[in-house]
Structure 1
Amino acid sequence: MPKSILSRYLDADVLARIARQRFEPYGVVQGNLAGSHRSALAGFAVEFVGHREYVWGDDPKYIDWRVYFNRGRYVVKQYAMETNLVCHFVLDTSASMRYGEGDQQKLRYAARLVVTLGYAVLAQGDKVSLSTFDDQPRGFVPPSNALAQIVRMTEHLDDSEPRGKTAMGECLAQLAARFQRREIVIIVSDFFANLDELESAIQRLRFARHEVVLMQVLHHDEIAFEFRGPTKFIGLEIADELITRPEDLRPHYLAAFQTFQNRLSELCQRNKAEHVVVDTSRPLADVLADYLHFRNRARRFR
């Protein structure tokens, strides 16, 4: 594998932090490994292919009690079926994702998040895909569960530059045609877009029985607006500039920002989509470890 490319996206310490956490669907999938994910398929002939360690939340009926009594270990029987969980990552590469510097740039941070979480899904034996968009769909890495998929994803991301405006609703509607039923769609963006169009796109995904996750990647400046002194603000997706005292603008900005966030959260609640806010000033290891821990805890009570 081209180590120089992978090292820009994958960090061994981050992978170690999430190594014991699984990314599981909340509901049923058109799944391949009984005992790994709950499947919507029933009545099919299956073939035993091996064991894996039991994870809290797994269906106890798949525990191999013979192994437990002989070795004192909880393991789950796995059976091959026709398909497996597919996790589609949809990444916004519009110009607004260019905000920030270094590893805290929104697109840079989002790309590392996608590759790291994608690696974790592949390590489970499941499939991942990657789509990018701005004002139109751009690249597409088709679903695969081969580890080489990570290389394909990083090579595509290396060629992606933040540009153009966001046409999220229209792009999601086009990308949805690539997805089958009962899969997981993770949209990674700042979601500074038309929320009515976004909701229509999410409704179509939910109608197709997809699980939808909105991972909202924001720079800390956008959350806290802690600028000081005369400042020039330059639009990234519109040709506009504003020179002002941010101290005067701050209360109005924060009120408008909170209103927008409330609308986005309510949109997700109405459509049973998961909304995760990510601050790029936080270490990626903490963000992913907290998210997977919360997700797995929530899954137990569904």
Structure 2
Amino acid sequence: MSSLLDPKIMMAIKELSLSAKMTVDGMMSGINKSAVKGPGMEFSQYRSYQPGDDLRSLDWKMFARSDRYYIRESEIETNISIRMLIDASASMEHQDGEFTKIDYARYLAASLAYLGNLQGDALGLYVFEEKGIYSLAAKQDFQHLSRIFYQLEQIKPQGKFTTPVHYKELYAGSKNRELLILMTDLYQTNAEIFTLLDTLTSLGHEVLVFHLLSRNELELDYKGYSTFEDLESGKSIQIDQSKVRQEYQQQMKDYLEKTRTELLDRGIYYRLMVTDEPLDQALRDFLKQRTKLRV
């Protein structure tokens, strides 16, 4: 499986559904469900009876053997809705090698959606475009998963990130608590993405951010280039990479640490993903985060 999880090989597979299946196969299943102790079908453990417990949960066979009252507990699997959030601004078209950041976001989202569907979670989608937010309600069935794959394939990044004036649409979405997974390069001009994240957390949602950067923009290693254009504003600048690389890398390091701290302070999970990294690592991080939702 390790070779199949190489991003370049994954991107060569045109069908999102096939690549997602190949990514998820072999991963540990069942971790992304929250286990709640209570009455159910699958036995979990015994505990001593306490005043107020439902007498129907008493195990009379244990009482006959021990002359003590025990409650028989089971595990109930509780699933929550998962919604993929995709940054569709022009900067996501930045390319390093054979693929762009939006390519990586597509395959990452498809793999996470496939995994969620496998575990029985309801799945939905938000696409953040300059003109507004495309929304696909969360549902749990394979046909709906196919709709998500289709919509991911249709994303064409352009313009700037959605402005806060459109965030009011989020309040008209699901009233239930959701796990929201944002895939973005965090390119913003007026902290609009942080405003979005504050809005989402204020609605009581659990939020994860996968921060997507390419290797060349992380290290300022654009071989043969001296003129750089901002994909969103159209502005260009000429620089000598060799002269500014060291300072650039230090500023990038400081920026990433500040970003990570600000998101963690908001109670938001953050992980930097460089687009030449295997997708399965993002899945493992996702599963680790889901275990924190266990009650």
Determine the C-alpha separation between the residues in 2 that align with 1:165 and 1:209.
27
Match of 2:159 in 1: 164
Determine the C-alpha separation between the residues in 1 that align with 2:82 and 2:194.
20
**Does structure 1 conserve the Cα–Cα contact (< 8 Å) formed by 2:36 and 2:76?**
no
Q: How does 1:47-126 map to 2 (within 5 A)?
A: 77-78=75-76, 84-100=79-95, 104-126=99-121
CA RMSD of aligned residues (A): 3.4
Identity of aligned residues (%): 19
Match of 1:31 in 2: none
* 1:174 to 1:255, Cα distance in 2 relative to 1, 3 A: farther
Determine the C-alpha separation between the residues in 2 that align with 1:232 and 1:8.
38
Instruction: Check if 1:254 corresponds to 2:263.
Output: no
Q: How does 1:197-212 map to 2 (within 5 A)?
A: 197-212=192-207
1:16 paired residue among 22, 25, 30: 25
1:295 paired residue among 275, 289, 293: 289
Can you list the C-alpha shifts for 1:122-159, whole angstroms capped at 9, x where unaligned?
11111010110122334322111101122101211222
Determine the C-alpha separation between the residues in 2 that align with 1:23 and 1:241.
44
Unpaired segments ≥5 residues, structure 2: 1-12, 48-58, 60-73
Can you list the C-alpha shifts for 1:79-115, whole angstroms capped at 9, x where unaligned?
7x8xx41111110111000011576410011011111
Match of 1:154 in 2: 149
**Does structure 2 conserve the Cα–Cα contact (< 8 Å) formed by 1:9 and 1:111?**
no
Match of 1:273 in 2: 268
**Does structure 1 conserve the Cα–Cα contact (< 8 Å) formed by 2:219 and 2:249?**
yes
**Does structure 1 conserve the Cα–Cα contact (< 8 Å) formed by 2:181 and 2:207?**
yes
Instruction: Check if 1:130 corresponds to 2:125.
Output: yes
* 1:89 to 1:78, Cα distance in 2 relative to 1, 3 A: same
Instruction: Read off the aligned partner of 2:264 and give its amino acid letter.
Output: Q
**Does structure 2 conserve the Cα–Cα contact (< 8 Å) formed by 1:89 and 1:130?**
yes
Q: SS at 1:148's partner residue?
A: helix
Question: How many pairs were matched up?
Answer: 259
Determine the C-alpha separation between the residues in 2 that align with 1:152 and 1:103.
26
Shift of 1:12: 3.8
Determine the C-alpha separation between the residues in 2 that align with 1:105 and 1:146.
30
**Does structure 1 conserve the Cα–Cα contact (< 8 Å) formed by 2:179 and 2:207?**
yes
2:215 paired residue among 211, 220, 234: 220
Can you list the C-alpha shifts for 1:20-49, whole angstroms capped at 9, x where unaligned?
36335xxxxxxxxxxx4549xx9xxx9x6x
**Does structure 2 conserve the Cα–Cα contact (< 8 Å) formed by 1:186 and 1:212?**
yes
Determine the C-alpha separation between the residues in 1 that align with 2:222 and 2:243.
11
Can you list the C-alpha shifts for 1:200-255, whole angstroms capped at 9, x where unaligned?
33233223221111111111112122234552212200112223321112123223
Instruction: Read off the aligned partner of 2:257 and give its amino acid letter.
Output: N
Determine the C-alpha separation between the residues in 2 that align with 1:141 and 1:102.
31
Shift of 1:256: 3.0
Unpaired segments ≥5 residues, structure 1: 25-35, 67-75
**Does structure 1 conserve the Cα–Cα contact (< 8 Å) formed by 2:35 and 2:76?**
no
TM-score, scaled relative to structure 2: 0.74
